[in-house]
Structure 1
Amino acid sequence: MYFVYDIGGTFIKFALMENNGNIKMKDKFPTTAKSAEELVAQMVEKFLPYKKAVKGIAVSCPGVVDSEKGVIYQGGSLLFMHEKNLAEMLARECHVPVVLQNDAKSAALAELWLGVAKDVHSATILTLGSGVGGGIIMDGKLQSGYHLMAGEVSYMESDFDTEKLRGEFFGRTGSAVELIKRIATKKNLTDKKDGEQVFALIAHGDEEANAIFNDYIYGLAVQILNIQYLIDPEIIAIGGGISAQPIVVERLNEAVAQIKAANPFHAAKPNIVTCRFQNDANLYGALYNFFIQFADEVI
């Protein structure tokens, strides 16, 4: 058995998982820690009841992650984790091997292990959530990059302003959370995070909701074309909670076709598909990352 954590800005999921990815137990607790030490204490508390059955700990977390050393840089929404060796801190308390991986890269690893990237030459995984997470698979391996930032697509810019020397980050323009918030605000919905109600409006042809959704889709389609030209993956897989809505990938494929038809110079042919894993992707990917680092554990 393995104990797996998925550290998010709102909740920290944890699960007891078997070698084959079967989840025996899963729960979560609010992300309330204000320091690395407090976070570790909370994580250890959840681990202790299961310690006798656990061979190792796998963690998915925000930030730029040195998976080999177990060090987090920047920390994403948990800035207090900057330059902290979370793997070492947990291993000291739990007395089992601990490995870390960035959350978006964990989602990509989940697809590589048991999902849509399992039998392909190459893939780019885009996870649409509060930002846009990215993971690049080439020749069956996750790419980290020289500075550990391969796939950090949230930092890509668009609509660059030469006077201000800045543009809109893709992490904001491609944010599913922002999309839902914009439509909910426009339609005066009480709950600005109610994705189901928002997509019900889209599905029923609401003009205002569809206008905002179409702008979002075209912006995403342009970045997908850019990624296709740069990396030329066999597939580009869309993940995150929003990917459960079939209309997202359907509209993306339509938008790419329309952009290409309007400009015959476009030669890229992105194959856009839906990820297999959604909310539990980071748990599966974190566990597979453990197997990669401890090859003898791979089934």
Structure 2
Amino acid sequence: MYFVYDIGGTFIKYALMDRAGTVVMKDKFPTNVKNAEDLVAQLVDKFLPYKEDVKGIAVSCPGIVDTKTGIIYKGGSFPFMHEKNLAAMLTEACGVPAVIQNDAKSAALAELWLGVVKDVESAVVLTLGTGVGGAIIIDGKLRNGFNLMAGEVSYMLMDFNSKTLQGNVFGMTGSAVQLISKIATAKGLADKTDGKTCFQLIHDGDAEAVAIFDEYIYALASHIMSIQYMIDPEIIAIGGGISAQEIVTERLNLAVEEIKKVTPFHAASPQIVTCHFKNDANLYGALYNFFLQFE
């Protein structure tokens, strides 16, 4: 058995999985950590009851990840993890080998292993969560880039201001968490993370919710078209929590067509699909990353 973690900005998910990718146990807890030591302590606490059955640990986490050394750079939603070797910390604390991989790249590996990218030569995988994760597959292989930053679309600047030298980043404009928060705030919901209620409002045709959703979709569709021009993949797969909502991919494809009608010179026709594993992609991809490194 293998113990797998998906460290997210809102929740940390963990699972006990076997060699075939079967989930034996799965659970999650709210992300509430202030430093690297606290994070490791919480991860170890979930691992210990299963220690005797586990031969390895696989982790999906934010940040720029050097999979060969186990060191995290920048840390994404966890800046305190910058230059920390999470793999080594877990190996020492748990007594079994541990590997780590960037969260978006984990999602891409899941799709490459058993999902929609399995038989595709080129693809881009975008995970919509607290930010926007990205991963690039070319010639059937995940590409890390010279500085390990291939596919890091969250850092891409949008609406750049030449006077302030600042701009919105894709990680904010494409954030599913921000989308839900905006709808929840507009509708006066007590829980600003209540995605289920927010999407029910969208499906019910609530004017405010639909307007916020449409703004989000059009911005995301425009970014996807830019990616299509740059890499020209066969497919662009959408993952993350809200990818479970079929309306997301449906509206993205419609938005692309609407943008093209308004601006006829556009030639890009991205094929936008939903990731097979949806919200569990990072768990499967982290496990596959373990197999690639150790087995």
| TM-score, L = length of structure 1 | 0.93
Q: CA deviation at 1:119?
A: 1.0
Other structure's SS at 1:127 match = strand
Distance change (3 Å), C-alpha of 1:39 and 1:130: closer
Q: What is the 5 A alignment of 1:235-250?
A: 235-250=235-250
In structure 2, C-alpha distance between the alignment counterparts of 1:44 and 1:51, rounded to whole Å: 10
AA matched with 2:182: R
Name the counterpart of 2:267: 267
- Residue 85 of structure 2 is matched in structure 1 by 85
Q: Deviations over 1:22-52 (max 9, x none)?
A: 0112223443443323332332333233233
- 8 Å CA contact retained: 2:132, 2:171: yes
Distance 1:10 1:214, change over 3 A: closer
Matched-pair contact (CA < 8 Å) for 2:74–2:82: yes
Cα offset, 1:230, TM superposition: 0.5
- RMSD in angstroms over aligned alpha carbons? 1.6
Distance 1:57 1:21 in 2: 14
TM-superposed CA distance for 1:290, in Å, is 0.6
Distance 1:161 1:249, change over 3 A: same
CA positional deviation for 1:278:
2.3
Are the structure 2 counterparts of residues 201 and 32 from structure 1 closer, same or farther at C-alpha, using a change threshold of 3 Å? closer
Mapped contact 2:9–2:130 kept (Cα < 8 A): no
Aligned to 1:111: 111
Whether 1:188 and 2:200 are equivalent positions in the alignment is no
Q: Deviations over 1:100-149 (max 9, x none)?
A: 10111111111111111111111111111111111111122111111111
Moved more, 260-269 or 16-25: 260-269
In 1, Cα distance between equivalents of 2:202 and 2:21: 35
Q: Counterpart amino acid of 1:56?
A: G
Q: Shift of residue 277 of structure 1?
A: 1.4
CA shift for structure 1 position 180: 1.7
**AA of the residue aligned to 2:116:** V
Q: Provide the rounded CA distance (Å) in 2 between the counterparts of 1:188 and 1:46.
A: 35
> 1:283 matched to which residue of 2?
283
Shift of 1:233: 0.8
Name the SS for the 1:24 alignment partner: strand
- Residue number in structure 2 paired with 1:65: 65
| Cross-structure match for 2:207 | 207
C-alpha deviation, 1:153, in angstroms: 0.7
Residue aligning to 2:224: 224
- Tell me whether 1:50 sits opposite 2:57 in the alignment: no
Aligned residue identity for 2:189: L
Determine the structure 1 residue equivalent to 2:22: 22
CA distance in structure 1 between the partners assigned to 2:49 and 2:197 by the alignment: 39
Structure 1 letter corresponding to 2:269 = K
Distance 1:27 1:206, change over 3 A: closer
CA distance in 2, matches of 1:155, 1:64: 11
Residues 5/230 of structure 1: CA separation in 2 closer, same or farther (3 Å cut): same
Using the TM superposition, name which of 83-92 and 181-190 deviates more. Answer: 181-190
The aligned runs of 1:145-160 (5 Å cut-off) are 145-160=145-160
Alignment-derived partner of residue 144 in structure 1: 144
CA contact (8 A) 2:10 2:130 kept: no
- Residue 238 of structure 1 and its aligned partner are, at CA, apart by 0.9
Secondary structure of the corresponding residue to residue 147 of structure 2: coil
Aligned length: 295
Using a 3 Å threshold, how does the CA distance of structure 1 residues 41 and 150 change in structure 2: closer, same or farther? same
SS at match of 2:164: coil
TM-score (norm 2): 0.94
Q: Which residue of 1 aligns with 2:125?
A: 125
After TM superposition, give the deviation of residue 202 of structure 1 in Å.
1.9
Instruction: Give, in whole Å, the separation in 1 of the partners of 2:82 and 2:12.
Output: 18
* Runs of 5+ unmatched residues, structure 2: none
Q: Percent identity?
A: 71
Distance 1:64 1:93 in 2: 23
Q: Say if 1:205 and 1:230 are closer, same or farther in 2 by CA, change over 3 A.
A: same
SS of corresponding position for 1:233: coil
Q: Which runs of 5+ in 1 are unaligned?
A: none
SS at the partner of 1:92?
A: helix
